[in-house]
Structure 1
Amino acid sequence: MRKKGPLREAEDFEALPGFGVRAAVGGDEVLIGTRKLMQQSSVTVGSAGDEMAAFEKEGKTAMLISIGGKYAGMIAVSDTVKETSKDAIKRMHDLGLEVAMLTGDNQQTAEAIGQQVRIDRVIAEVVPEQKAEEIKKIQDQGKKVAMVGDGINDAPALAVANIGMAMGTGTDVAIEAADITLMRGDLHSVADSVQLSTKTIRNIKQNLFFAFFYNTASIPIAAAGLLAPWVAGAAMAFSSVSVVLNALRLQWLKLSR
């Protein structure tokens, strides 16, 4: 049964990060959000908790609604997992990375999504400030953390992580807080950046070898008076050419997909 009526304007709207929203409509306080929000506001939801748990097991986020301090209904929404996400996470595993999901969603909902894409660790029901704290806990274990986010709520965690990666499709605040901006809103971009960074570091080490090898090998020969000046000049030039050519190889790097 569908009911239609005039839409009333909300007043005194307030966003409650990690909990939901609060507003006044027609003189009544309206709350939309989590169980915790209802508990804090002394709203009894009754048997709605069982229905909410059923939605969460399906990977949906259920939001409770109260009007005037009384339970009024529920909204269930679900995020569609991108087709590329599972393959991208597998690539990260192949690169030796541990993948964790840090979210403010309900634990059951988060775990359902995590199982779909085979995430190693799920940290759920955290508010924006707690995201940064969770990253610090991982860092205290001696691990390096790369945080990937796209929203305002992710900004504190992006700033705390060893490397912050912001999706180019995200908010300006997240992009400003991050070290790297990924141009595509696709997790393959994360795997691409890690793979490219690894190859670049390896290339730098090779270039250092080429830069020092010729000079180091030539010094004792030149000290003995056995190295002609033109040979020394040619060796120096060849050293520079070797470094440049080796660096240019990165243009033809093929990223695994």
Structure 2
Amino acid sequence: MLEKLHACNTVVFDKTGTITLGKPLVTKVIPGSAASEAEFLSILASMEKKSGHPLATAIVDYAKKQELGLHTIQHFKEIPGKGVAGQFKSKRYLAGNLTLLKEHKVDFDSKEILEYTRKGMTPVFLFSEKKLLGTVLISDSLKSESVQAISDLHKMGIKTVMLTGDDHDAAAYIAGLSGIDRIYAQVLPTDKAHVIDKLKSEGNQVVMVGDGINDSPALASADVGIAMSTGTDVAIESAGITLLHGDLSKVEKAIKLSKKTMRTIKQNLFWAFFYNIIGIPIAAGLLYPLFGIILNPAIAGAAMAFSSVSVVTNSLRLKALKL
């Protein structure tokens, strides 16, 4: 794993929970004309309570703070990368992102939504029978170390990419704040691994950093997968490296450690070969016919032991490495 990591030139990050805190909050509610705000939020939260997505959790928490009652949703179904569907009082509802809304050809104020997404907010829509019941706008904050972590990778000559299922404008806002080079937005969970494969086909040595169950295929497809310890068990199992405390700055430190480790291995191999190339012929008596020099077996044994000590000592220098 360290051998692959030291050669990486591209690091791909998931957005929510990796670059951002992963604790999104509802920042604005826009009720539609077909329902009151309370009714809209109550149905939306009831739909989302069965989903494990961070955005769904934010909506449910907000509804509870508003002391709204939640309903039992029948025929609940998750739509990967888009949202959820379900039935309440014999009426079918869908809740999800802009892609889901456009697929069902629901009318909405695109200019108003664009204004918010450009500020980094992610919209979640609730609609039924092609009527928009309302929109919730959710925002997430950058981790305190994200900007410096991305900057440190750039200083090492490493390209950075963000891979997310979120709207492009919201993703671009976060990428702009953090300094990410390239964005792949509105990517379905099943397609994340395809993006990794595409980057690899371009000749890149790719590291994927993620924390969610949706990141698992991408983590497995990357040359090196790095999971946050704060993420899901599935993500951790799919990755080769786990970062404690979900600290993004440790990505750069892991790469530095891998580079130093590989350099130390090469140094050890060089000196071991050099030592043996010089020592073995002398021990075999190569210099005796010319100079009358012969190596005492005890001295030869001590010299061989010293070569092993030098290799171990050089390796122990890694313990003093400041990352």
TM over 0.5: yes
Q: 1:11 aligns with which of 61, 65, 74?
A: 74
RMSD between superposed Cα atoms in Å: 1.6
Q: 1:40 aligns with which of 71, 80, 103?
A: 103
- Which residue in the other structure is 2:321 paired with? 253
- Which residue in the other structure is 2:160 paired with? 99
- Which residue in the other structure is 1:202 paired with? 263
Mean Cα deviation higher: 107-116 or 229-238: 229-238
Structure 1: tracts of 5 or more residues without a match: none
- The answer to whether the aligner puts 1:22 opposite 2:85 as a matched pair is yes
Q: 2:112 aligns with which of 48, 51, 56?
A: 51
Q: Hey, what's the Cα distance between the residues in 2 that align with 1:157 and 1:231? A: 55
For each residue in 1:56-113, what CA deviation from the matched residue of structure 2 results, as whole angstroms up to 9, or x when unmatched?
Answer: 1001111111134311110101111011100011111112210100111111111110
Q: 2:141 aligns with which of 80, 83, 108?
A: 80
- Which residue in the other structure is 1:31 paired with? 94
- Which residue in the other structure is 1:161 paired with? 222
- Which residue in the other structure is 2:53 paired with? none
Cα distance change, pair 95–62 in 1 and its aligned pair in 2 (3 A): same
**2:80/2:188 contact within 8 Å kept:** yes
**1:214/1:235 contact within 8 Å kept:** no
Q: Hey, what's the Cα distance between the residues in 2 that align with 1:102 and 1:5? A: 34
Q: Kindly, what percent of the aligned residue pairs are identical?
A: 46
- Which residue in the other structure is 1:229 paired with? 297
Q: Hey, what's the Cα distance between the residues in 2 that align with 1:9 and 1:239? A: 73
Superposition deviation, residue 247 in structure 1: 0.9
| Within-5 A mapping of 1:62-211 | 62-211=123-272
Higher RCO, 1 or 2 (CA under 8 Å, sep at least 6)? 2
**1:41 partner letter:** H
Mean Cα deviation higher: 134-143 or 36-45: 36-45
**2:257 alignment partner, SS class:** helix
Q: Hey, what's the Cα distance between the residues in 1 that align with 2:106 and 2:146? A: 38
**1:184 alignment partner, SS class:** helix
Mean Cα deviation higher: 132-141 or 63-72: 63-72
